[in-house]
Chain A
Amino acid sequence: MDEILSRAKKVAGQAEVFQVSSKRTPVNFEANRLKQIQTKESSSTVLRLIKDGRIGFAQVNGFVHPEALVNIALETCQFGMLAKFDFPGPRAYPHIDIFDAQTEEVTIDDMVELGQQLIAAVRQHTPDIVCEATVSKGIASVRMMNSEGGKASYSKSFFDIGLEGVLVQDQDMLFVGDSQSSCHPVHDFKAVAEEVTNQLELAKRNVSVSTKQMPVIFTPRGVASSLIAPLVAAFNGKLVLDGASPLKDKRGEQFFDKRFCLWDDATLPYQVASCPCDDEGMPSQRTTLVDHGVVSQFLYDLQTAALANTQSTGNGSRRGGLPTPSPSSIVIGEGDVYFWDMVRDMRQGLVIDQLMGAEQGNILNGDFSGNVLLGYKVERGEITGRVKNTIVAGNVYEVLSQLEAVGQEARWVGGLLLTPCLYCPSLSVATRSG
Chain B
Amino acid sequence: MQSRKIRDKIANALKGHDADYVEIRLEESEVTGIVYRGGRLEEVGRTSSLGGNVRALVKGGWGFVSFNHVEELRHHAELAVKQARLVGKEDTKFSRTEPVAEIVAAETRKDPTAVPLASKKQLLDEYNAIILSTPKIQTSNISYHDSQKKVALATSEGTYIEQSRVDLNLRLSAIASGDDTVQQASISMGSRGDFAAIETLHDQVKEIARRAVRLLAAPQARGGEYTVVLNPILAGVFAHEAFGHLSEADHVYENRRLQDLMVLGRRFGRKHLNIVDGAAVPGLRGSYKYDDEGTPGTMTYLIREGVLESRLHSRETAAKMREKPTGNARALNYRFSPIVRMTNTFIEPGATSFEDMLSDIKEGIYAKDWYGGTTSLEMFTFSAGEAYMIRNGKVAELLRPVVLTGNVFTTLRNIDAIGNDLEMNQGGGCGKGGQAPLPVSNGSPHIRIRRCLVGGG
Contacts and interface: CB of A to CB of B under 8 A. Distances in A.
B255 A58 contact: no
How many A residues touch the partner, as a band? 35 or more
A208 interface: no
Nearest to B43: A322
Contact of A81 (B40, B224, B410): B40
Interface in B169-200: 175, 177, 180-184
Q: Which residue, of B38, B400, B456, B457, has the highest number of chain A Cβ atoms within 10 A?
A: B457
A386 interface: no
A391 B335 CA distance: 36
Given A61-B48, A364-B175, A35 B62 contact: yes
Interface stretch (B79-87, B296-304, B352-360, B416-424): B79-87
B381 A356 contact: yes
Given A79-B44, A321-B45, A428 B457 contact: yes
Contacts, number: 263
Interface of A: 30-31, 34-44, 56-63, 72, 75-76, 79-81, 108, 112, 128, 130, 166, 168-169, 171-173, 175, 211, 238, 242-246, 320-322, 356-362, 364-365, 367, 369-371, 373, 388-394, 428-433
B254 to A, nearest CB: 3
A419 to B, nearest CB: 22
Interface string B347-365: 0000000000000000000
Interface of B: 33-35, 37-38, 40-51, 61-70, 79-80, 83-84, 86-87, 89, 117-118, 121, 138-139, 141, 175, 177, 180-184, 223-225, 254-255, 257-258, 261, 335, 337, 371-383, 400-403, 405, 407, 409-410, 451, 453-457
B456 A76 contact: no
Contact of A41 (B66, B139, B381): B66
Given A246-B180, A246-B182, A62 B70 contact: yes
Q: Pick the 6 closest A-B CB pairs, nearest first.
A: A357-B381, A31-B254, A360-B372, A430-B223, A57-B45, A369-B455
A62 B337 CA distance: 19
14 contacts: A30-B254, A35-B87, A39-B80, A62-B69, A76-B44, A80-B41, A81-B42, A112-B86, A130-B258, A243-B177, A244-B177, A356-B374, A365-B183, A432-B453
Contact of B51 (A37, A61, A393): A61
Q: Among A35, A56, A369, find the residue whose CB has the most chain B CB atoms closer than 10 A.
A: A369
Given A37-B64, A57-B46, A357-B381, 8 more contacts: A37-B87, A60-B47, A244-B138, A246-B180, A367-B400, A371-B381, A430-B224, A432-B225
B61 A34 contact: yes
B68 A42 contact: yes
A168 B51 contact: no
B84 A42 contact: no
Given A37-B64, A365-B183, A357 B372 contact: yes
Contacts of B403: 357-358, 360-361, 369-370, 391, 393
A430 B45 contact: no
B117 A76 contact: yes
Contact of B379 (A356, A360, A367): A356
Contact of A59 (B45, B64, B456): B45
A389 B407 contact: yes
A118 B360 CA distance: 55
B90 to A, nearest CB: 9
A96 to B, nearest CB: 27
B184 A428 contact: no
Nearest to B456: A393
A175 B337 contact: no
A108, A371, A392 — most chain B CB neighbours (10 Å): A371
B65 A58 contact: no
A370 to B, nearest CB: 6
A162 to B, nearest CB: 12
